[in-house]
Structure 1
């Protein structure tokens, strides 16, 4: 199941520059770009650092594609 993330949206909403976030997380800007564009999934360690950095529940940052489809199906069926 593919994993998507909301890192770019959250970062922009909070007015954090990509380079600043990359430096704070101790990764390159290129790595952060790949993660934000869903081209690369971060390691568990980096994922937990991101969750801690934004102080949000993991499900608000990372989404399993299958999970999203199931939620949409339930919503559309009116259950």
Structure 2
């Protein structure tokens, strides 16, 4: 079982998701990126697509995004 980390999905209007998760797959500008705990720091643009979140319980949730950016730090994203 992978280590969990804090994930937040934010829109211009409000905080949509704030949860402890095992992994997040982001549709980055240079291809899909899987983020897990202790990932190297990076900031990337997000292209339109689906963000897939694997919760600490093992279930998956998907969110449609229309662009934006991801700020990834070792403590979470």
TM-score (norm 1): 0.25
Which one has the largest radius of gyration? Answer: 1
The structure with the greater share of residues assigned to strand is 2
- Higher relative contact order at CA 8 Å, sep ≥6: structure 1 or structure 2? 1
TM-score (norm 2): 0.25
